[in-house]
Amino acid sequence: MTAVNALELRDLRAGYDKATVLWDLTLDVPTGSIAALLGPNGAGKTTLMRTIAGLLRPSAGSVTLAGTDVTRASPHKRAQHGLCMVPEGRGIFRNLSVQENLRIQAPPWVPEADAVEKAIKAFPVLGRRGRQAAGSLSGGEQQMLAMARAFMADWKVVLLDEVSIGLAPRIVDEIYDAVRGLAGSDVALLIVEQYVGRVLGLADVVFLLDHGAATYSGPASGVDEERLTAGYFGESPAGVP
Ligand SMILES: Nc1ncnc2c1ncn2[C@@H]1O[C@H](COP(=O)(O)OP(=O)(O)OP(=O)(O)O)[C@@H](O)[C@H]1O
Ligand SMILES: [Mg+2]
């Protein structure tokens, strides 16, 4: 049976050393939905994603993935339970070729050739650049390479942390076309995005985070984009392009 929620966080508290960043967060991401995680710089969005992925250990609360409590599970175990994180910044091996980077990203339970093929289907340019050093790709191509793993398996939850940062609008379109293609299956997406308008057009549910606490959690239709942009992001270019 498919769990109602792909991801459940209950009273999650986490941070670094003695500094608590996330304060008793409770969130549900329904199976197959697209969730936007929004909030100003330093709100704790990346910290939350790292805690969900198991890179940070919470000091209290729980993380449940498709009905399985993974609070104490390693990042590797969480991946086996269907969790994929595309981290902030472009985590690629610059000196290795595109092909080599793709093979490294392939989850161990997916035949390597299938995994690479799926990634190239999502981003055909990666197929054309196969032998090129990853560090010599354009910024957009590097981001596509960094996202490739999200397309390689039937994940239950994919976390995307600022995948459009620093890219031209045309490239952002291309990346979001692929993200839209990813959705629609059973996968739930949790997306952190500075271009609020872009992700609000896509999201079913929205979580607003401020100083590590959820200040809104509900349908995307309940979010006023203008107020959000003014209140959360000041004069920043959020909402563009
Ligand atoms: N490795 C770390 N050690 C100590 N404190 C950290 C560390 N990483 C982040 N923090 C602190 O945790 C808080 C939340 O940071 P986080 O990176 O989660 O915010 P964010 O919402 O992702 O911000 P941004 O929009 O800038 O990416 C900040 O106060 C930050 O200084
Ligand atoms: Mg961040």
| Number of H-type helices and E-type strands within the chain | 9, 10
% helix / strand / coil in the chain, to the nearest 5?
35, 25, 35
Residue 232 scores a pLDDT above 70 = no
Q: Which residues have a beta carbon within 5 Å of ligand 2, which is an ion?
A: 45-46
- Quote the ligand 1 centre to 230 CA distance (angstroms): 22
- What percent of the chain stands above pLDDT 70? 93
In whole angstroms, give the CA distance from residue 151 to residue 178. 9
Distance of CA 237 to the CA centre of its chain: 21
Residue that wins the pLDDT comparison between 231 and 158: 158
Best substitution site from 13, 18, 21, 211 to test ligand 1's pocket, by max atoms within 8 Å of Cβ?
A: 21
In this prediction, residue 198 has a pLDDT band, given cuts at 50, 70 and 90, of confident
Residue 29 scores a pLDDT above 70 = yes
Ligand 1 proximity of 227 Cβ (cutoff 6 Å):
no
In whole angstroms, give the CA distance from residue 128 to residue 192. 29
Q: Which residue's entry shows tokens 């059973």?
A: 186
In this prediction, residue 236 has a pLDDT band, given cuts at 50, 70 and 90, of very low
The structure tokens listed for 163 are: 């995948």
Please answer whether residues 141 and 126 qualify as being in contact, where contact means their C-beta atoms are separated by less than 8 angstroms: yes
pLDDT for position 240: 43
Ligand 1 proximity of 21 Cβ (cutoff 6 Å):
yes
Q: What is the pLDDT of residues 35-64, one digit of tens each?
A: 999 999 999 999 999 999 999 999 999 999
Q: What is the pLDDT of residues 75-109, one digit of tens each?
A: 999 999 999 999 987 889 999 999 999 999 999 99
Mean pLDDT of 223-231: 70
Regarding beta strands 19-30 and 5-16, do their DSSP bridges make them parallel or antiparallel, or are they unpaired? Answer: antiparallel
Report the predicted TM-score, pTM, of the whole model to 2 decimal places: 0.93
Ligand 1 proximity of 27 Cβ (cutoff 6 Å):
no
pLDDT for position 109: 96
Q: What is the pLDDT of residues 97-152, one digit of tens each?
A: 999 999 999 999 999 999 999 999 999 999 999 999 999 999 999 999 999 999 99
pLDDT for position 175: 93
Residue that wins the pLDDT comparison between 87 and 232: 87
pLDDT for position 227: 67
- Quote the ligand 1 centre to 215 CA distance (angstroms): 18
In whole angstroms, give the CA distance from residue 101 to residue 118. 14
Nearest CA to ligand 1 atom 9: 47
Bridge partner list, 105: none
Q: What ligand 1 atom has the least distance to the C-alpha of 162? A: 27
pLDDT for position 241: 42
